[in-house]
Amino acid sequence: MAVVKKIQIYDTTLRDGCQSEDVSLTTEDKLQIAERLDDLGIDYIEGGWPGSNLRDAAFFKEIKRLKLHHAKIAAFGATRRANIRAAADRNLQLMLQADTPVATVVGKTWDLHVREALRISLASNLEILNDTIAYLKKHFDEVIFDAEHFFDGYANNPEYAIACIKAVDDAGVDLVCLCDTNGGRMPWEIEDATRAAAAALRAPVGIHCHNDSEVAVANTLAAIRSGAIQVQGTINGLGERCGNANLVSIIGNLQIKLGYNCVPQAKLKTLQETSMLVYELANITPNRRQAYVGRSAFAHKAGLHVSGIQRNVHTYEHVDPALVGNDRRVLLSELSGRANILYKTREFGIESDLTPEQIEALLDELKRLEALGYTFDGADASFELLMLRTLGRVKDHFNFVSFRVFDDKWHEEQAPFSEAVIVIEGPDGRRTRNSAIGNGPVNALDSALRQALVPYYPGLASMQLADYKVRVLDNGAGTGARVRVLIESTDGRRRWGTVGLSSNVVEASWQALVDSVEYKLHKDNVKPRIRPQVESNGKRRAGKSRGAAESAANGAAKI
C-alpha cells in the first residue's frame, strides 16, 4: 500500500490575514479561531508579530491557557537590523518573550530589496540571515525562514537568491519557506525555482503565495509537486492587497484530488464550518462562489444539470460536497425544468402527491413569477409554500386585514424610529390590532406581527430575522423602481429564506415576512391556542365564526 505523503499546513490567518484592509480581529476572535484551527488539524498557527500591537501581545499570553491538541504556535518576526548583533536586536528579543515553540522569521532574498530597501551590501545581508537564524536556533524548538520575494529574486538573480537560502541552511534552519510576496509569478516559474531551491538545501522547503495574479492556489500546488512539504496560507484567502493563498481550497485540492495528508480525514468535513467561522468573526460576507465551501459551490440551476445529477451526481459535481461539510442544492428559476421541480418535491417529501399536470402548472407559475422579478435561489421556503398551496396542503394560519407604518424623527440629533400598526384575523376568527416600535419599518412590522401571533403560536417567540437584503430591479425607474426583498430567518434550529416583490419596499418586506412566519408555523405543525371569548352575560365560549368574532370585537386591543 502506498504511503500517503504528509503536507504540513501552516496557517497565518491571525497575522497575514489580519493585514486585509477590511479585517480587524480582537484577541478573543483570534483565540476562538486558533481553537477551531487546532480542532481542524492545522499543524502550525502563526499568532502574530510580538510587540507590534497590544492584541498580538495579549494573544501570545492567553493562548498558553488554551489546551491545544495538535497545532504548534509560531511567533513571527524579521531578521536582525544591520550593524547590530542578533542578541541585541529588540524585535528578536520580543519574539523570545512570546515563548512559543516555533519562530518564523522573514528576510530578504531579492538583490533589489537588499540594495533599495535595506541599502546594504549583498554580503552584509547574507551575514544578517546567518546570524539571525543561528541565534534563534539556540532559543526555539523550531525555526522557519520566510524567504521574502524569493521567486522575484530567483528570476532576476538566481545565484544570489540561492545564496540567501543557503546562508540560513548553514545556520541550521528547520525549513525554508519560499515566498511569492508580490503574487506576480506563474505556476511554471514557481515549479522551476522550487526545484532549484530544494536541490540546493539540506532543509526542506515550503511555499507562501499571494494572490495578486489570482493564481496563488495554483502556484501552491505547483510548489508541492516540485518538492515543497509545507503550505503557508490563510482561511478564505484573507490577506494584504488581493489576499493570500486560500487554505480551504488548498486543503481540498491536496487531500481530495492529489491524495496528500493535510488534516485528519474525519476533520475534513469541518472545513466549511471553519471557513464560516472566520468570515463571521472577520465581519465579512461569505463568498457564495468559493470553491468547496461556498453556498453556491454545489448549487444546480439549469434543468439539464439537475436532470444529470439525479441520474449520477458525478455528471456535474467534481467531489462529494459532504466531504468538506457542504450541501448539494437545487435552485429554481426561469432556467428550471421538470427535473428541478421533481428534485424539490423529493426534498420536501411530496413527490408522490404531484400529478404531471400539477408539475407543469408549478413550472409555469415559477417562470411567470421569475419574469416579474421574483427569485427563489435563496428563498426555498417561499417556493415550498407555493408548492404546498398548489396541492392544498398548507393552510393560512391567520388572515391579513391591514397595516400602517409611521416614520418619525423629531429633531436633527435624534435617530429616526418607526411604528407599525397591524390588524390581523386570528385562527379563532377574531380581529386584533397590535402596534410596535422599531429602528426601521421592517423591524417594527416584524415585531408587531409576532406580537399579534405569539398568543396563538408561542413558538414564534424564538424566531428572528438573520439577514435582510433589498435589490433594486428597475435601474432606470429611480425611486419608483420595483424592489425584491430576501429575508433569512432562524429559530435557533434551522434557517430559511423567503422573498417579496413590490415597488414599495415595505410591502415587499411584508410579503417576505408573512411567508417566513407561515413557513415556521407549517414546519412546527402545532395547533393554535384559542383564547376563550366573553359573552355579554359573562359566560365564556370559544370563538367559532368570523361573524361572531367581529360582533364581539371591541376594546383597546381590538377593532
Could you list the mean pLDDT of each consecutive 10-residue stretch along the chain, which spans 559 residues? 77 96 91 95 96 88 94 97 94 96 98 96 98 98 98 98 98 98 98 98 98 98 98 97 98 97 96 91 88 89 75 88 86 60 71 73 79 79 85 84 91 88 94 93 93 94 88 73 90 90 93 95 87 48 33 28
Give the separation between CA 489 and CA 479, rounded to whole angstroms.
Answer: 27
Cell digits of residue 542? 370559544
Give the separation between CA 291 and CA 521, rounded to whole angstroms.
Answer: 35
Beta strand 464-472 pairing with 483-490: antiparallel
With a CB cutoff of 8 Å and minimum separation 6, the contacts of 431 are: 401, 423, 424, 425, 549, 550, 553, 558, 559
Give the separation between CA 428 and CA 450, rounded to whole angstroms.
Answer: 16
- In a 3-state reduction of DSSP, which class is residue 281? helix
Burial category of 324 from C-beta neighbours within 10 Å (exposed 0-12, middle 13-18, buried 19 and up): buried
Residue 167 φ/ψ, nearest 5 degrees: -65, -40
Cell digits of residue 363? 413550472
> Residues 470, 461: contact at Cβ < 8 Å?
no
Give the separation between CA 441 and CA 75, rounded to whole angstroms.
Answer: 49
With a CB cutoff of 8 Å and minimum separation 6, the contacts of 186 are: 213, 215, 219
Task: Specify the pLDDT at position 406.
Answer: 92
Task: Specify the pLDDT at position 536.
Answer: 41
Query: For domain 8-282, which CATH number applies: 3.30.70.580, 1.10.3720.10, 3.10.110.10, 3.20.20.70?
Result: 3.20.20.70
Q: Which amino acid is at 462?
A: S
Which pTM does this prediction carry? Answer: 0.70
Beta strand 102-108 pairing with 142-148: parallel
Sheet (strand 483-490) strand order:
464-472, 483-490, 495-502
Give the separation between CA 335 and CA 348, rounded to whole angstroms.
Answer: 20
Each domain of the chain, given as residue ranges in start order, spans 8-282, 333-396+461-502, 398-456+529-559
Task: Specify the pLDDT at position 413.
Answer: 81
Cell 400598526 found at:
421
The candidate with the shortest Cα–Cα distance to 257, out of 287, 286, 285, 217, is 217
